[in-house]
C-alpha cells in the first residue's frame, strides 16, 4: 500500500463489529485520540481548540512513559525542571479545559476499512470516529531471559523511577548503553549503594552530557563488554550471572551480587492492533508521510513514539501531536461525511 492515494470507500461501513461481538454501546465522535502522553494530550489541546470535540482514551498508562520519569529538564517552559507526572497532569488539565473528554480505557480492536472508523474500547464499546489520532507510544523491551519472568515483582523492573525506592541502600544492575540506561543509572545512584551499568559494547551510545554524568558518579561502575546470562536468588533477585567478552579468547563468566535488575534497552511501539490496516516498518513503528502525521489510511494519523524511532523526546512527541490535530482538522474540513 502506498502512503499517498485517493480517499475511497469512505462512506459508513457495516455493523459487523457490533454483530460479531454483540456490542450495543456505540458512540460517534469527530476525532478520537488513542493514547495519552505528550503527543496525545497535545493533540487533544489543539483538536479541542479547533472545536472538534475530541474524545481521548488514556490506555493502560495514563500520561505515557513520562509518568515514570523524575526530573524533566529539557522541556521548554520549565526553567527549574518539573517531574514527568506533574507535567503530564498539567497537559491533561489543559486538554480538559478546552473540552476534551478524557477517559480511562484501552483500544482493543480497530476497523479502518471505511469511515466512520470503528475503534473498540475494552471489548465493550465502539467509537465511530470521522478521524483517528494514534498516540499509543512504545513499551520497554526485555532481554528475553526466563529469569525476567521468574523474578518479575521480585527484583526485575523496566522502570527505575517506579521501583527504585525499594532498593535504597542496596546494589542494583542496569542493562543498556543509551541515554535511557544512563538516566536510569543516575537516578538509581541517588538511592542505591552501588549501580552496575551492564554494557554489551565497549562504548556508550548515550549523549556526551549523559556519559559525563555517569563517569562522574562514584557509585556507578560500568561493566564494559558484559552480557547477562541469567539471574539467581531464592524467590527474589540476589545476583546476576554475566559473560564478559563473549565469543573471544578472553571470554569469562562473572557474577555480581545485586538486589535489583533494571532493563533499559529500548522500546517496542504499541502498534500491533493497527497493523492489519496501517503500514509499519520492520520494528513496528507506524509509517507517516514525511512532514506530516498522515498514515496510509486517509483520516488516520499517528504521532509520538509509536511513529518516531529517531528522536523519541517529549518535546518532539508534543510537536507531532500538534501536527496530528492540525492534519485531522484539515482532513475533516475537506472530507465531510454525508
Residues that are catalytic:
159, 162-163
Task: List the grid coordinates of 323.
Answer: 501536527
Per-residue CA distances from 116 to 96, 145, 267 (Å) = 24, 43, 31
DSSP codes of every residue in 230-287: EEE-SSS--EEEEEESTTSTT-EEEEE--SEEEE-S-EEES-GGGTTTS-B-TT-PBP
Q: What's the rounded Cα separation, in Å, for the pair 279 and 288?
A: 8
**Run of H or E residues at 118:** strand 117-121
Closest CA to 331 of 298, 293, 309: 298
Quote the DSSP letter at residue 152: B
Q: How many distinct helices (H) and strands (E) make up the chain? A: 8, 19
* Cell 550471572, residue located: 241
**Exposure on the CB side of residue 51, measured as CA atoms within 13 A:** 1
Contacts by residues 291-298 (CB-CB < 8 Å, ≥ 24 positions apart): 292/323, 292/327, 293/133, 293/320, 293/323, 293/324, 293/327, 294/3, 294/327, 295/3, 295/134, 296/1, 296/2, 296/3, 296/5, 297/112, 298/5, 298/7, 298/10, 298/331, 298/335
Amino acid at each position: 500500500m502506498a502512503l499517498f492515494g485517493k480517499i475511497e470507500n469512505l462512506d459508513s461501513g457495516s455493523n459487523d463489529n457490533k454483530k460479531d461481538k454483540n456490542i450495543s454501546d456505540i458512540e460517534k465522535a469527530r476525532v478520537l485520540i488513542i493514547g495519552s502522553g505528550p503527543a496525545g494530550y497535545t493533540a487533544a489541546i489543539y483538536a479541542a481548540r479547533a472545536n472538534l470535540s475530541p474524545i481521548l482514551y488514556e490506555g493502560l498508562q495514563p500520561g505515557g512513559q513520562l509518568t515514570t520519569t523524575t526530573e524533566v529538564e529539557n522541556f521548554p517552559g520549565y526553567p527549574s525542571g518539573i517531574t514527568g507526572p506533574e507535567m503530564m497532569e498539567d497537559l491533561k488539565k489543559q486538554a480538559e479545559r478546552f473540552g476534551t473528554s478524557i477517559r480511562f480505557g484501552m483500544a482493543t480492536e480497530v476497523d479502518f476499512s471505511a469511515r466512520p472508523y470503528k475503534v473498540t474500547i475494552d471489548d465493550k464499546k465502539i467509537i465511530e470516529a470521522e478521524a483517528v489520532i494514534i498516540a499509543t507510544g512504545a513499551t520497554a523491551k526485555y532481554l528475553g531471559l526466563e529469569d525476567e519472568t521468574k523474578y518479575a515483582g521480585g527484583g526485575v523492573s523496566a522502570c527505575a523511577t517506579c521501583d527504585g525506592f525499594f532498593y535504597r541502600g542496596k546494589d542494583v544492575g542496569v542493562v543498556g548503553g543509551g541515554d535511557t540506561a544512563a538516566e536510569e543509572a543516575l537516578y538509581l545512584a541517588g538511592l542505591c549503594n552501588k549501580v552496575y551499568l551492564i554494557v554489551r559494547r565497549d562504548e556508550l551510545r548515550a549523549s556526551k552530557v549523559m556519559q559525563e554524568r555517569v563517569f562522574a558518579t562514584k557509585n556507578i561502575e560500568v561493566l564494559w563488554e558484559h552480557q547477562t546470562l541469567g539471574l539467581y536468588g531464592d524467590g527474589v533477585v540476589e545476583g546476576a550471572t554475566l559473560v564478559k567478552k563473549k565469543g573471544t579468547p578472553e571470554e569469562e563468566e562473572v557474577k555480581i551480587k545485586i538486589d535489583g535488575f533494571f532493563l533499559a534497552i529500548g522500546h517496542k511501539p504499541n502498534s500491533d492492533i493497527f497493523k492489519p490496516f496501517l503500514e509499519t516498518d520492520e520494528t513496528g513503528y507506524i509509517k507517516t508521510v514525511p512532514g506530516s502525521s498522515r498514515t496510509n489510511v486517509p483520516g488516520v494519523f499517528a504521532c509520538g513514539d509509536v511513529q518516531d524511532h529517531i528522536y523519541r523526546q517529549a518535546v518532539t512527541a508534543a510537536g507531532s501531536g500538534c501536527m496530528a490535530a492540525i492534519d485531522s482538522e484539515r482532513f475533516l474540513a475537506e472530507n465531510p461525511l454525508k
